[in-house]
Structure 1
Amino acid sequence: MPRFHDEINGTGSDVVHYRGQPGPGVLRYAGPSQIQLEALDDRLAYGETVTESRAGEHTFQWPGRGYYQVRSTGPWSLSAAC
């Protein structure tokens, strides 16, 4: 499972481990349909939807360190806003 503090890139669905702090984040997505970022619990079960959007650049709030499910069909990047 990929871990990151500041930024991560991917294509399609994946589970990632965010190791940064709570606060603003940026989602960039270039896929043909909707993308969802979901917070997972320690068992990797669904917790809540953090953000969902279509193609483009969108800001959201990271709840904090933890596991997240990216559900998409195209290329994406997640980062902590500077």
Structure 2
Amino acid sequence: MAGPVKRSVSIAGHSTSITLEPVFWDALVRAAEEEGLPLNALVARIDVERIEQDDLPNLASAIRVWLFRRVSARI
């Protein structure tokens, strides 16, 4: 399995770096395509949900959890 990959995304007009394993990047790109959103827009949406939580996880963790819940909801 390949190690984590750092990519820059734009959220609310500012760039931020996110480090995820390739399998999560692939799943995130697929989810954005399926939802008809640009990748940055999906990440921004996940970020808004993350900020609303009492226990604020980091963005990479929030993305992993969001992807896991999305897959779990389909099973």
- Shared fold (TM-score greater than 0.5)? no
Higher strand share: 1
TM-score by length of 1: 0.25
Rg larger in structure: 2
Larger relative contact order, structure 1 or 2 (CA cutoff 8 Å, min sep 6)? 1
Give the TM-score taking structure 2 as reference length.
0.26
